[in-house]
Chain A
Amino acid sequence: GIQVEQSPPDLILQEGANSTLRCNFSDSVNNLQWFHQNPWGQLINLFYIPSGTKQNGRLSATTVATERYSLLYISSSQTTDSGVYFCAAAYSGNTPLVFGKGTRLSVIA
């Protein structure tokens, strides 16, 4: 099955800094999603991005499917960005997602 690896496992940022989170996956996928788990444990979908680039405010994501990786960019980080960011991949939209172990982000004021 698909293997999903995320890096770094932990990241500490000063408020206002930028960061890049990486997700590598082992097979060709047609379903790649990024999630944010906030400090209260809620999981929020950020992007559905099997290929290409998308932006939503200060967050953007790029997936290079041919090279089997995806990047999540956070610009001008805020304390509310803290939490765990998960990448998840699947062969198709109809097969279950496989999650990476996440990147724990702490943004300090």
Chain B
Amino acid sequence: NAGVTQTPKFRVLKTGQSMTLLCAQDMNHEYMYWYRQDPGMGLRLIHYSVGEGTTAKGEVPDGYNVSRLKKQNFLLGLESAAPSQTSVYFCATRTALYSNQPQHFGDGTRLSIL
């Protein structure tokens, strides 16, 4: 999707390894979100940020950390990957200027933990 870029697109990790997923946006949006999608579960919110330097926990934050040092980037970290973190991860953004604006999603990162 235009405006929200996730890297990498695919990654395979071994249990215990660490990695960072990057979400970059060029729409100057204040709000950024990290979701995970598992089969039959819909999207569940991991962490989110309402602005540069701020982060908050979502529904399933355990095992993840995030940082928002720059407005355009939102990083999701796995310090010690576990097989239960195998999932597809989506980043989303939204403007804070108007309340009636939709969320915009990146194309996702497919992560497998062996």
Contact = CB atoms under 8 A, between A and B. Distances in A.
Interface of A: 30-31, 33, 35, 41-45, 48, 50, 86, 88, 92-94, 96-102
Interface of B: 1, 31, 33, 35, 40-45, 48, 50, 58-59, 88, 90, 92, 96, 98-105, 107-108
Given A41-B107, A45-B104, A96 B33 contact: yes
A94 B43 CA distance: 18
Contacts of A88: 43, 103
Nearest to A97: B103
A48 B104 CA distance: 12
The 5 closest A-B pairs by CB, nearest first: A93-B99, A45-B102, A43-B105, A101-B42, A99-B43
B103 A45 contact: yes
Nearest to B102: A45
Contact of A100 (B42, B48, B100): B42
A101 B35 CA distance: 13
A41 B108 contact: yes
16 contacts: A41-B88, A42-B107, A43-B1, A43-B105, A86-B42, A86-B43, A92-B99, A93-B101, A94-B99, A96-B58, A97-B103, A98-B59, A99-B42, A99-B44, A101-B40, A101-B42
